[in-house]
A = this chain, B = another copy of it.
Amino acid sequence: MRVVGCGCSRTLVSRWVDPRPIGVFDSGVGGLTVLAALERALPQESFLYLGDTARLPYGTKSQASVERYALQCAAVLTARNVKAVVVACNTASAAALPALAAAHPEIPVVGVIAPGAAAVVAATRNRRVAVLATEGTVRAGAYQEAIAALDPSLQVTAICCSVFVALAEEGWGEGAVAELAARRYLGDTFAQQFGPDTLLLGCTHFPLLRRTLAALLPASIALVDSAETTAAAVVALVGERMGCGVGAMGTRFLATDGPERFARVGSLFLGRPLLAVDVERIDV
């Protein structure tokens, strides 16, 4: 079906319509920052979010296990008739994107790493960028590789900021503890005379520290949020590789472990209240 002016944020006048939701999954609640960015960017779309909380964290699991988990998560979403799968998880994006795309050739599969890498390459002026991520993501080198694939001349500093994850989950993304932790992680890097001019938030938890980081760093530093760049990548697919939604039907939530913690901690990441009764517990 083709309609004219369906309300998408892109300027195409003609779109085909597909009322199915966009599927989003993560190992837990972190991916809710990606979902929040998607909801903001695509107000006419509906979403189905799956948090594989029973098996988190993915970051310490083997690549083979993460690939298997990711395929199972995507299968849950496609069984519920989604029109795209967004992998809102750095570890799963790094480990499983080719397998996911091969398993679901009929729909687009979008990860968080490529859009973030493309955004920093576009943003930097002095060819020096810093990637903040968890230890697993830094060690796996996925952002470093993705950036090097686009521009091997860029100098990439990867900084493990593991404590940020706990601060975000505790609701301490702003305040004195977060400020001190950020100063400790980033002070040396940004005190350099020729330090990075671009900072990538390479973990779905880190948008909760965005304001803390912005206040700490010079205004000249570009802050790239991989949740937002991922949402922008999905926006670019609407009308191209998938049909346009017909107005938000709301977002549905699935979790593989207790809905209570998912809802309570998830509210912080989603930026709006989330109730346990709105979270369906499923087994994968």
Interface positions of A (Cβ within 8 A of B): 53-54, 56, 60-61, 135, 162-163, 165-167, 169-170, 172, 176-177, 180-181, 184, 257, 261
13 inter-chain pairs at a CB distance below 8 angstroms, sorted by A residue, are A53-B60, A54-B60, A56-B60, A60-B257, A162-B166, A162-B169, A163-B170, A166-B166, A172-B184, A176-B184, A177-B177, A177-B180, A180-B180
- Tell me the smallest distance from the CB of A236 to a CB of chain B, in Å: 36
Main SS of chain A's interface residues?
A: helix
Give the number of copies in the complex. Answer: 2
| Residue of chain B at shortest CB distance from A53 | B60
| Residue of chain B at shortest CB distance from A135 | B261
- Per the bound structure, the CA–CA distance linking A162 and B184 in Å amounts to 20
Q: Which of A60, A162, A176 has the most CB of B within 10 A?
A: A60
- Tell me the smallest distance from the CB of A107 to a CB of chain B, in Å: 31
| Residue of chain B at shortest CB distance from A165 | B166
Q: Which of A135, A165, A172, A180 has the most CB of B within 10 A?
A: A180
- Tell me the smallest distance from the CB of A76 to a CB of chain B, in Å: 19
| Residue of chain B at shortest CB distance from A164 | B166
- Per the bound structure, the CA–CA distance linking A254 and B35 in Å amounts to 40
Residues of B within 8 A of A169 (CB): 162
